[in-house]
Amino acid sequence: MNEEKEEKINKSFEYETTNLIRSNFNENKNLNELENTASKPSNQLSNGLLGWYSVSGSDSIKQGKPYFFTLYNEPLVLYRDREDIVRCVKDVCPHRGASFLGGEVINGQLVCPYHGARFSSQGNCTNLDRITCEHIIDSNYDNYAKSIKLLQYPCIEKEGYIYIYYTGTPLANIEDFQIKSSLNSLLPDSYGFPSLEYEYEEVYVDFKADWARIIENHLDILHVFWMHGDTIPDKNVNRNTITSFNQKIKRDNRQLESIYSYKTNGQEEFIRIKFVPPGRIFIYKGSPESTRYIQVLDHIPLGNNKARVIVRHYRKFLKNKLFTSLVLFSHLQRKTFYKIFSEDYLVLKTQTFNEQMGYIQKDNVKLLGEDKMVQYYWDWLQNALNKEKPWDLHPTNSLTNSVHDDRGMLYPPENPNMAIKNNRIILIKLLLRLLFPISLILILI
Ligand code: FES
Ligand SMILES: [Fe+2]
């Protein structure tokens, strides 16, 4: 397929998606309702488990370098094509089924490590004469080789995130996808957050734990005081100050949100937590337009008992780059993030085990008043699981070759190397910063 046609397809895909987003948004925007009810809700969220996922930050997808991950056990690869457009393809070479692990991206074309087949961004093999010895190129082979195609998912890069439209069934022609859910419902802008005005820090964290349990953890307000009280630098967040909250719960077909305010303390707001299916959470304080700080958490279901979270902290303060680099802001932030997630990890792993053993189920444990968001989340999850069954699309069992598991857990807390390296950098930079005044004093005396 020539470049011009390819560009047209990209444009039309983007156009259709945008139109769909627009029409869904118009339909939905009048449906917001405020409520504060103790009754068990019916499920009102329209997005299910299949649809748009934020799977990576833009910076992780570099020209010339494939990025591997899995989604619901399915191995996938992201890479940038010649036009710098991010593509998401199934990590299976259509020639003889090798993975692209160990392969390359050359001039924006994905290259298989096994026999060197190269693929254009439309998924066509572009070097038919080079993937095999000349003596077996006959007309039959030629026809066959021309018909092999990569399988892809729709992919959009927006505001520093890579989103893919996940159905569990990648297609050879990306224009054949029927986009049924709106990307708009995931975007900060559509909730009134002016995200581009913010600076942010970002970390990736990997857990060998149930994806849904991790989301549940991030919707759980009370554990923050108990488990993270010594790590979060806020004297009001501490196990000694643990308190009950009033909640204003907002549910419409795009989101589930709770505004927590102190029961005592003149109804002062503590925090807001917004869940947007299937895996995005916003945490902030005050109105979206004026908030000084937004945490965006994206939960990626890599596979059974395996999940990745992208945590982005946007801020309106501490924007001076020189100052933040002098005080080692991003390294220290990263250290705090890693510590918080390590604190949660043992709980998440043991809950996952207890669930696997049948000791607990998601909806049969006792709930506190503040667990209402958790209950609402489970209602959505059960409903979505009953309808879509994404875990049945690429099932694994104990005999499944663990190659993608073995290569997959890249980040802390499961892989602590990055946290160790971060601590080492903090130490070295601190020493270097101290070295200058010390040598100055030594010279003077
Ligand atoms: S398996 Fe990929 S080129 Fe042969
Ligand atoms: Fe936590």
Instruction: Report CA-CA distances (Å) from 113 to 105, 108, 110.
Output: 10, 15, 10
Using CA atoms, how far residue 434 sits from 134, 323, 326, 443, in Å, is: 65, 16, 12, 14
Closest of 63, 71, 81 to residue 150, by C-alpha: 81
Amino acid at 97: G
Ligand with an atom nearest the CA of residue 223: 2
Q: Give the closest ligand to the alpha carbon of residue 113.
A: 1
Q: Is 118 in the pocket of ligand 1 (CB under 6 A)?
A: no
pLDDT value at position 16? Answer: 39
Q: Where do the domains of the chain lie, and which CATH numbers do they carry?
A: 50-181 (2.102.10.10), 186-431 (3.90.380.10)
Ligand 1 proximity of 117 Cβ (cutoff 6 Å): yes
**Is the CB of 93 inside a 6 Å radius of any atom of ligand 1?**
yes
C-alpha of residue 83 to centroid of ligand 2, in Å:
40
Q: How far apart are CA 129 and CA 142, in angstroms?
A: 9
How many Å lie between the centroid of ligand 2 and the Cα of residue 411?
17
Rounded to two decimals, what is the model's pTM?
Answer: 0.87
CA separation for the pair 117, 24 (Å, rounded): 41
DSSP letters for 202-246: EEEEEESS-HHHHHHHHT-SHHHHHHSTTTSS-TTSSGGG---EE
Among 77, 92, 114, the mutation site with the greatest number of ligand 1 atoms within 8 A of its Cβ is: 114
Q: Among 90, 111, 115, 144, which residue has the most ligand 1 atoms within 8 Å of its CB, making it the best to mutate?
A: 115
| Of 241, 237, 281, residue with least CA distance to 258 | 281
What is the distance between the terminal CA atoms of the chain, rounded to a whole angstrom? 74
Residue 101 beta carbon below 6 angstroms from any ligand 1 atom: no
**Distance between CA atoms of residues 17 and 166, nearest Å:** 14
Instruction: Find the ligand nearest to 92 CA.
Output: 1
Cβ contacts of 327 within 8 Å, gap of 6 or more: none
Taking only the tens of pLDDT, the chain with its 445 residues reads 444 444 443 443 443 343 333 333 333 333 333 333 344 445 589 999 999 999 999 999 999 999 999 999 999 999 999 999 999 999 999 988 999 999 999 999 999 999 889 999 999 988 866 666 555 555 555 666 677 899 999 999 999 999 999 999 999 999 999 999 889 999 999 999 986 678 899 999 999 999 999 999 999 999 999 999 999 888 888 888 888 899 999 999 999 999 999 988 678 999 999 999 999 999 999 999 999 999 999 999 999 999 999 999 999 888 888 888 888 888 999 999 999 999 999 999 999 999 999 998 876 677 788 889 999 999 999 999 999 999 999 999 999 999 998 888 999 999 999 999 999 999 998 898 888 888 888 888 7
Residue written as token pair 């549940």: 216
- Dihedral of alpha carbons 290, 294, 300, 301, sign: negative
State which ligand 1 atom lies nearest to the alpha carbon of 115.
3
Q: How far apart are CA 304 and CA 384, in angstroms?
A: 17
Token match 């680099």: residue?
325
Q: State which H helix or E strand residue 5 sits in.
A: helix 3-28
Residues 274, 192 contacting (CB under 8 angstroms)? no
Q: Are 89 and 150 in contact (CB under 8 A)?
A: yes
Atom index in ligand 1 nearest the CA of residue 131 equals: 3
d(CA 2, ligand 1 centre) in Å: 23
Question: CB–CB of 33/252 below 8 Å?
Answer: yes
CA-closest residue to ligand 1 atom 1: 96
Would you say the CB of residue 254 lies under 6 angstroms from ligand 1?
no
Residue 294 and residue 202: Cα distance in Å, rounded? 12
CB of 125 within 6 A of ligand 1: the answer is no
For residue 132, the CA-to-ligand 1 centroid distance in Å is: 10
pLDDT of residue 144: 65
Distance CA 144, CA 122 (A): 17
- Residue 138 neighbours by CB distance under 10 Å: 9
Amino acid at 398: S
Work out whether the CA dihedral 395, 399, 401, 404 comes out positive or negative.
positive
Which residues of 180-279 form beta strands (DSSP E)? 199-207, 245-251, 256-262, 269-276
Query: What stretches of 275-400 show up as alpha helix (H) in DSSP?
Result: 321-326, 329-356, 372-388
Question: Ligand 1 in contact with 131 (CB < 6 A)?
Answer: yes
